[in-house]
Structure 1
Amino acid sequence: NKKKPFAGTNTSENEVLFSIGTIFRIQNIGKLKDINNKVWFINLTLEDDNENEAHMQELMASTMAKISARPTVGSIADVLRNMGECQKAQKYYEIALKNIPSNDINNIARITTYIGDCKTEDHLALNKYMDALNKLEEQSPELNRIFVAQLYDKIGVVNFKLSNYTEALIHHEIAMAIYKNESLEEGVYCFALTYYNIGRVHDKLDDKQNAVKYLRKSIDLFLESSLSEKSDSAIVYSELGRIYSSLKDYDKSLQYLKEALDINNKSPYLTKKSLIARNYYDIGVVLYEKNTEDEKALEAFQNAITIYGKISPIDREMLAKLHDNMAMIYCREKKWIRACQAYTKSCEYRFGDKC
């Protein structure tokens, strides 16, 4: 009942009854300054606009489709993984893996891949992905080529993180070739994601022309996709914004970065908070480099600081960078006291009590 999403049930017990299906956005979480410092508060905002409602309906439909009428250990693990509870998900995947018949190579490879998704260390994830790929290509008589392509993409992403850019490009291009050989329509999500991956690798290889070409292809496909997938186009806009910044085309860079920020701000997903903070950081850097709008740059950096400060665990290095950037602007404006304060704050984030 959106008109009455919650109501008091008993004033003496201070209880609140929430309507079933009511959806709230978590704005912030903090501790109350009580005697024992053990009371927490959560600030909730009711979601009640059409765009977010459409997001949530699609999310619920997708989640229900993935959970069968009789949930399995694997489906429970899938839900936990999608919630970001990777350690818990991995335990369930490992239980599921033990119960799969040894001749069911496709399922063994699938669960092994999901365990790789749960690994926080890149080299461990890469080992799992390679293990799954080898099982499929060496032992499975009926290859799921689409899944194999997704594995190549995952291997490419991990190599990108490990700065193995040539290796990353090889794997992403193999993934793209498989998708095309399977006669998939280009409008599907996997094409958009792989074009994005290829584009950002070209950027790292200092091939800006190809980077822009593939990233624009990615955006075009994201814009044709479903509502939830459109929100992922923000990462492509961000990448394009950073590339144009490196090319000193600051106006075009700001155009793409602001588009990314707008998309992320409209998303109901809390996981977008770190992306929003990064958008503000990137916008601030471009405005600083442009050297004409220092106040707007400071505002962008401050917005990023506010958001990063609420994300756990705290990214101390990013917060230090933000304060460094603010200090440089204050130096340019000859506001020496503020510059010293900002540098001191940066030092505190990097070195703590040693500063």
Structure 2
Amino acid sequence: MAYRDQGMADAEFKKIERCPGGLISFNNFLSTSLDKVVSMHFAREALSNPKAVGILFKMTIGPTASSAPFAKIPSQESCFGESEKEVLFSMHTVFRLGGIEKMEDGLWQVNLTLVDNAADPRLQQLTAYMRQQVTGSTGWHQLAKVLLKTGNYRDAEEIYQTLIEQAKSNNAEKDLPHLYSQLACLKNRKGPYHEALELYQKSLDIRRKSLPENHPELATTYNNIRLVHDKMGEYSKALDFYQKDLDISLKFLSPTHPDLAAIYSNIGSVHDKIGKYSKALEFHEKCFKVSLKSLSPTHPNVAGFHSNIGMVFENIGEFSKAHQSYTKSLEIYRGSLFENHPTLAYTYNRVGELHESMEEPEKALEYYDKGLKIQEKCLSFSHPNLATTIYNMGSIKTTEGECQKALDLHNRGLKIREKSFLANHPDIARSYHAMASVQEKMGEHSKALSCAEQAVRISENSLGDEHPHVQLYRNTLNRLWKNV
């Protein structure tokens, strides 16, 4: 048994509290003591900082931990003298989080168990996944990919642009498809979407010169193009590219491959957006059957699957099931992502929308505000996810009767959407309809009528006559005509 004192920021301590059974690693050589009293003395010193939490790590070293590098330091060589009984762990030693106990004097004891890298299957699975995610032919390629994964889009874009210019000047066309795809992926997350489409098309054009039409690399590119069409509201195009991707993937992937789960989930999400909810649930169920066989329950992709199926439950009015799905998604994301990651902001927004549907405006606004603070830090000022959060906050202000604030928010969101999307995107119709509803409450019937007409025209072109949003917008328009 070894002990380690630590002063920790409250936000970091809360992350640990949310991750029982998770993994933790220290980014330096870790000096510990076999003497609990010595470590508690240092832990109490951390209490002098009002923003810090005093932690005593209690570390259990199992008899089978053969591959974990640690050593007992002889007393004459210890930095702390003979009383320290020092044990030194190597950099990046991994521990599994156990229970957390409140101690006297405001200290917390966090129980850790040393993980044997060679014997822990969950750690082996995680390590293999991380190696797969951070591949690259050079250190610059690997760094750019890490920056992209962690949401540092500005730095990642600068590196990718430099690598593309280098590949062009060196006539290394074989490197361009991957670099174009990575930069397109960044644009797909950060915006603008039309730039993402252009980059994916460049990648596809080069790959088609040397690959057959049923090659897996083309399937990946088809899927990526589909993602952009999906976000741009071009759902029929998105489904066409999905089908191409699925047809190729079924030939080359095993029935339990995680990429297959992602395809099923994404097809389900498109059906959800066009109002085919039973079809959406069918594909999400296929996704979960595959993912449970191939991924850990705490894998970030599984968090996304929970969020997607939560949207369907929310849309069909099963709020309890939706809340369970979103809560599970947040638990996984909080344990695996940085606190300012844009995916976390997106999930906060989804939870806020659910609370709004459940007529809990204060809770909804709380989650919207959390999401907006993250988005303003890491997204471009014209990103559509920012517009979604602003739109949702406008809806709350409408409910609370603050019509002018609501109208200002919806107008701001509309301007962002018009910069990000094509003119017939369904979200632009949503903004016009929201503005019409506020203007109707304010007695500005002619302005409301104009916005409602725009909402109906755009939604009919993008969603079709049977979509519930189209019916809602038509009802609003008919009511306004009667009042005029």
- Does residue 202 of structure 1 match 2:271? yes
Map 1:223-262 onto structure 2 (within 5 A).
223-227=292-296, 230-262=299-331
The answer to whether the 8 A contact 1:116-1:129 is kept is yes
Aligned to 2:236, which of 152, 166, 173?
166
> How many residues get paired?
298
8 Å CA contact 2:184, 2:197 repeated in 1: yes
1:3 is matched with 4
- Give the secondary-structure state (helix, strand or coil) at the position aligned to 2:286: helix
Query: Where do 5+ consecutive residues of structure 2 fail to align?
Result: 9-25, 31-50, 58-94, 99-111, 116-121, 378-385, 413-484
Match of 2:195 among 121, 124, 127: 124
Question: Does structure 2 retain, via aligned residues, the 8 Å contact 1:77–1:92?
Answer: no
Query: Does the 8 Å contact 1:89/1:118 carry over to 2?
Result: no
**CA positional deviation for 1:219:** 2.2
RMSD: 4.0
Percent same amino acid among aligned pairs?
16
What corresponds to 2:363 in structure 1? 300
Q: Distance in 1 between matches of 2:388 and 2:213?
A: 44
- Judged with a 3 Å threshold, the aligned counterparts in structure 2 of structure 1 residues 87 and 121 are, in CA distance, closer, same or farther, namely same
Distance in 2, matches of 1:115 and 1:256, equals 31
| TM-score between the two structures when normalised by the length of structure 2 | 0.52
Please identify the structure whose Cα radius of gyration is greater.
2
Which runs of structure 2 are paired with 1:69-218 in the superposition (5 Å)?
Answer: 71-83=138-150, 84-85=152-153, 86-98=156-168, 101-102=171-172, 105=174, 107-119=175-187, 120-137=191-208, 139-140=209-210, 145-182=215-252, 184-218=253-287
Task: Give the gaps of 5 or more residues in structure 1.
Answer: 8-17, 23-42, 289-296, 329-338
Q: Which secondary structure does the structure 2 equivalent of 1:3 belong to?
A: strand
Match of 1:20 among 16, 20, 28: 28
1:321-332 to 2 correspondences below 5 Å: 321-322=392-393, 324-325=395-396, 328=399
Task: Give the structure-1-normalised TM-score.
Answer: 0.68
Q: Deviations over 1:109-144 (max 9, x none)?
A: 22221222233221111112122112212x215789
Deviates further, 161-170 or 77-86:
77-86
Hey, what's the Cα distance between the residues in 2 that align with 1:285 and 1:343? 17
Mapped to 2, the partners of 1:273 and 1:154 lie a distance apart of 21
Report the Cα offset of residue 228 of structure 1: 8.3
Measure how far apart 1:287 and its partner are: 1.5
Q: 2:299 & 2:177 partners in 1: Cα distance?
A: 29
Q: Secondary structure at the match of 1:313?
A: helix
1:178-234 per-residue CA deviation (whole Å, 9 max, x = no partner) reads: 11111x212222111111111111223332222111111112223333348732223
**Secondary structure of the structure 2 residue equivalent to 1:140:** coil
Work out the CA distance in 1 between the residues paired with 2:335 and 2:211: 45
- Compare relative contact order (CA 8 Å, sep 6+) and give the higher one, 1 or 2: 2
Pair 306,116 (structure 1): closer, same or farther in 2 beyond 3 Å = closer
SS of residue matched to 1:190: helix
